[in-house]
């Protein structure tokens, strides 16, 4: 009879350990599910995305950035060319203004009858770049100076 009691007692201990193991497994399972849920809530939607989704999104963003960079480089090249053109135009206009001022000074000297100063200024003026009305005015001043 003592053996039966020991067998019963061993059986109860084994059953208790088995039940405890099942309870621990069930608790672990629900704890893991709960932990994953809380972890995803904590990290937000970004953490829930897979690596491939993030890679695809980054690839699209990279393509957009490359296209934007290409467009900006083209615009930059166009602006540089436009800047060169405008600089050349500005320099041409500055030369025109300088020659206009010289012709105006020459005209004033001729009107004031200061022929020596007018002749000196006339010798410094080069009419190669003159055309149209400016050339006609230059010729007129030349005639007036030679009178």
Does 45 have pLDDT greater than 80? Answer: no
For the ranges 21-30, 71-80, 112-121, the lowest mean pLDDT is seen at 112-121
Provide the mean pLDDT of the chain. Answer: 84
d(CA 102, CA 4): 133
pLDDT of residue 145: 77
- What is the reported pLDDT for 44? 62
């Amino acid at each position: 009879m003592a053996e039966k009691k020991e067998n019963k007692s061993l059986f109860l201990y084994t059953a208790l350990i088995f039940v405890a193991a099942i309870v621990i497994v069930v608790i672990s399972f629900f704890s893991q599910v709960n932990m994953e849920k809380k972890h995803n809530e904590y990290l937000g939607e970004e953490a829930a995305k897979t690596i491939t989704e993030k890679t695809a999104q980054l690839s699209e963003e990279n393509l957009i950035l490359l296209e934007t960079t290409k467009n900006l480089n083209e615009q930059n090249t166009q602006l540089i060319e436009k800047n060169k053109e405008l600089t050349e135009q500005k320099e041409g206009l500055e030369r025109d203004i300088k020659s206009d001022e010289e012709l105006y000074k020459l005209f004033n000297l001729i009107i004031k009858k200061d022929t020596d100063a007018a002749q000196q200024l006339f010798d410094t003026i080069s009419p190669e770049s003159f055309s149209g009305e400016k050339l006609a005015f230059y010729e007129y001043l030349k005639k007036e100076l030679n009178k």
